[in-house]
Chain A
């Protein structure tokens, strides 16, 4: 057994030396501050999270995209690309089989070990780390740069910024901020704390996040939610399946809750709300309409 391991180790070293000649054409600093050596014009990209697939499509660079993850369902066109496991559980073999010249990973979600193993297989991995709307726009700019689509990224981000400013201007007119509870998990009940996209969306849309706090994704009991007395309750759902409708009916029985009294329980598409992609602006507009319908009375 021991001699076998030695042979294997020697062979691995030889393989490493043989494979250590990638087509390095440029060095880029990713959003984790790591220097990545990658091709000048990457042609075979694997997007390791649904949000990254969306960004690449939004930049019009989908021809470079050769692989996506399991729940990458937007845009519909993406569905025909091969899948490499889910973003929290990537299938290394499927990724390697696609022979990518670049993988784009997301810090919040992709397991670190998988990323390290991809790099040890000489596959460059550019990691993005969007923390809020502002850094998300930087992410789009950076991805645009490495894909030689800076101009497109610039117009995309400018458009997003102007949509954001339009919402800001509308929200500046409000005199009351409703208390909002966004439920992102049904059982257990999970919401989003201060350091999340959902929190930022609520604040920008002119609401108060009753789940704010240091924990990113806190768990709640039904009783606690009742005690927080939200004026608006929003359930994000991944599918239009019955579970979410049932959650809505369950809440409706608690007539002491302001949200129930005023019939302000809504379901929204979770893909739009929890992916750091350009669609977060859609989420912002949807949320603003739900929280402040009065702002939209005379046309959009």
Chain B
């Protein structure tokens, strides 16, 4: 048993280290590439030598790219962890915050918050959270009993919830001509450009405890995956664990939506990829999804802001271009 534990910890450290290195590489690329070319060496000298001679590059790296790459890191980690949790709790490999409509509900909440003139913290974050809880309740009601465990039922309710959410969003956008909604189309496809470093730090400070909480419950998720009876014999309060995890995950997702809009499929691509490599144990998957999802979104955002000649495209365009085909493949496979 002790040997087993030791083995377990070594494996955990190895997995985390490898993915952390991957994240660091993505992070460095994200920092050193942008519309104003700088190269990795000058980017890093600007990053570490404070008050250095080239003050323009210094503020570009510190004040523009760093907050953006950090935001992509946090949002990517959250969304991929969100996908993992929903897949475990609903025992459905196709569950994901965006596909389920949780992100859409948060977006409605966020737009209402914007229209009410609330500040991002705590106002819009809170309305966004209420929105996500609303759709979560809707999904759970629509698929009462066991039907949520069936892939088709879940997908159908997700499609309906999403359609309903986008209708409400279009409705709100059409009835107001609020200048604050100017960038809404961009935001609806995932926008990582806006915030300042302190805001990103606040988001991180809110989300990191959530990450830890999910990690604490990772063993419980393993047992839940084995079925109800197993969970009962292992002395796990299924209802409490499920409820806590659903609410915490909805909260994490809504917090990121209020920052960066709707970025889909990160929670599908990363957990699936990592499950293929690492197996089904959530005690490894939780940290792996955090680092892997972070690196993935940083790279997607890098593509989104460097591919167009003029300006940039929303990061959600890239994640959906990669994620949606994968979703179709997974659906096809799971039917067989």
Interface status of A15 (Cβ within 8 A of chain B)? yes
- Say whether B194 contacts A18, CB under 8 Å: no
Q: Is the CB of B36 within 8 A of A14?
A: no
Does chain A have a CB within 8 A of B122?
Answer: no
Residues of B within 8 A of A88 (CB): 182-183
Of A92-100, A232-240, A292-300, the one touching chain B? A92-100
With A14-B51, A96-B64, A121-B63 known as contacts, the answer to whether A70 contacts B311 (CB < 8 A) is yes
On whether the beta carbons of B186 and A120 are closer than 8 Å, the reply is no
B35 at the interface (CB under 8 A from A): yes
Is B283 an interface position by the 8 A CB rule?
Answer: no
**Contact, CB under 8 Å: A19 / B201:** no
CA distance A109 to B183 in the complex (A): 10
Q: Label chain B's interface by main secondary structure.
A: helix
Q: How far is the CB of B55 from chain A (nearest CB, A)?
A: 7
Q: Which residues in window 185-215 of B have CB below 8 A to A?
A: 186, 193-194, 196-198, 201, 204-205, 208
Contact A18 B50 (CB under 8 A): yes
Is A2 at the interface (CB under 8 A from chain B)?
yes
A:87-144 near B, CB below 8 Å: 88-89, 91-94, 96-97, 99, 108-109, 111-113, 117, 120-121
Residue numbers in A under 8 Å from B198 (CB-CB): 9, 12
CA distance A70 to B186 in the complex (A): 17
A244 in contact (CB, < 8 A) = no
Bound-state CA distance A15–B193 (Å) is 21
Say yes or no: is B45 at the interface (Cβ < 8 Å to chain A). no
**CA gap between A279 and B196 in the complex, in Å:** 37
Size of interface on A: residues with Cβ below 8 Å to B = 36
CA distance A9 to B201 in the complex (A): 8
Residue numbers in B under 8 Å from A1 (CB-CB)? 204, 208
Tell me which residues across on chain A come within 8 A of B36, comparing CB atoms.
93-94, 97
Q: Decide if B51 touches A91 in the complex (CB within 8 Å).
A: no
Asked whether, in the complex, the Cβ of B50 is within 8 Å of the Cβ of A93, the reply is: no
Known contacts A14-B51, A83-B310, A93-B34; A113 and B201 CB within 8 A of each other: no
Query: When each residue 303-332 of chain B gets 1 if its CB lies under 8 Å from chain A and 0 otherwise, what string results?
Result: 000000011100000000000000000000
Is the Cβ of A11 less than 8 Å from the Cβ of B310?
Answer: no
Least Cβ distance of B66 to chain A in Å?
8
**Chain A residues with Cβ under 8 A from B51's Cβ?**
14-15, 18
Contact A15:B310 (CB < 8 A) given known A8-B197, A96-B64, A216-B177? no
B55: chain A residues within 8 A (beta carbon):
19
Which residues on B sit within 8 Å (CB–CB) of A108? Answer: 179
Set of chain B residues within 8 Å of A2, measured between Cβ atoms: 205, 208
Tell me, yes or no, whether A34 is within 8 Å of chain B by CB: no
| A192-227 to B contact mask, C-beta < 8 Å, 1/0 | 000000000000000000000001110100000000
Contact A70 B208 (CB under 8 A): no
Question: B35 and A97: CB pair below 8 A?
Answer: yes
A5 close to chain B: CB less than 8 A: yes
- Docked complex Cα distance between A139 and B236 (Å): 69
Q: If A97-B60, A99-B56, A111-B182 touch, does A91 touch B205 (CB 8 Å cutoff)?
A: no
| B62 interface contact, C-beta 8 A | yes
For residue B174, which residue of chain A has the nearest CB?
Answer: A219
> Is A93 within 8 A of B208, CB to CB?
no
Q: A93-B35, A93-B64, A93-B65 are in contact. Are A14 and B50 (CB under 8 A)?
A: yes
Q: Chain A residues with Cβ under 8 A from B282's Cβ?
A: none
- Least Cβ–Cβ distance between A16 and chain B, in angstroms: 9
Contact A86 B311 (CB under 8 A): yes
Within the complex, the shortest CB–CB distance from B236 to chain A, in Å, comes to 29
Q: How far is the CB of B180 from chain A (nearest CB, A)?
A: 8
Are the C-beta atoms of A8 and B35 separated by less than 8 Å?
no
Say whether B147 faces chain A, with CB atoms less than 8 Å apart.
no
* In the complex, per-residue mask of B215-249: 1 if CB is within 8 Å of any chain A CB, else 0: 00000000000000000000000000000000000
Q: From A18, which residue of chain B is reached at the shortest CB distance? A: B51
> How would residues 1 to 34 of chain A score, 1 for a CB under 8 Å from any chain B CB and 0 otherwise?
1100100110110110011000000000000000
Interface set, chain B 19-77, CB cutoff 8 A to A: 34-36, 50-51, 55-56, 58-60, 62-66, 70
Query: Which residues of A are interface residues toward B (Cβ below 8 A)?
Result: 1-2, 5, 8-9, 11-12, 14-15, 18-19, 70, 83, 85-86, 88-89, 91-94, 96-97, 99, 108-109, 111-113, 117, 120-121, 215-217, 219
Q: Which 4 A-B pairs have the closest CB atoms?
A: A97-B36, A18-B51, A5-B201, A99-B56
17 interchain pairs (CB within 8 A)?
A5-B205, A8-B197, A12-B198, A14-B51, A15-B59, A15-B62, A83-B310, A85-B310, A86-B311, A88-B183, A89-B183, A92-B193, A97-B35, A97-B36, A97-B60, A99-B56, A113-B194
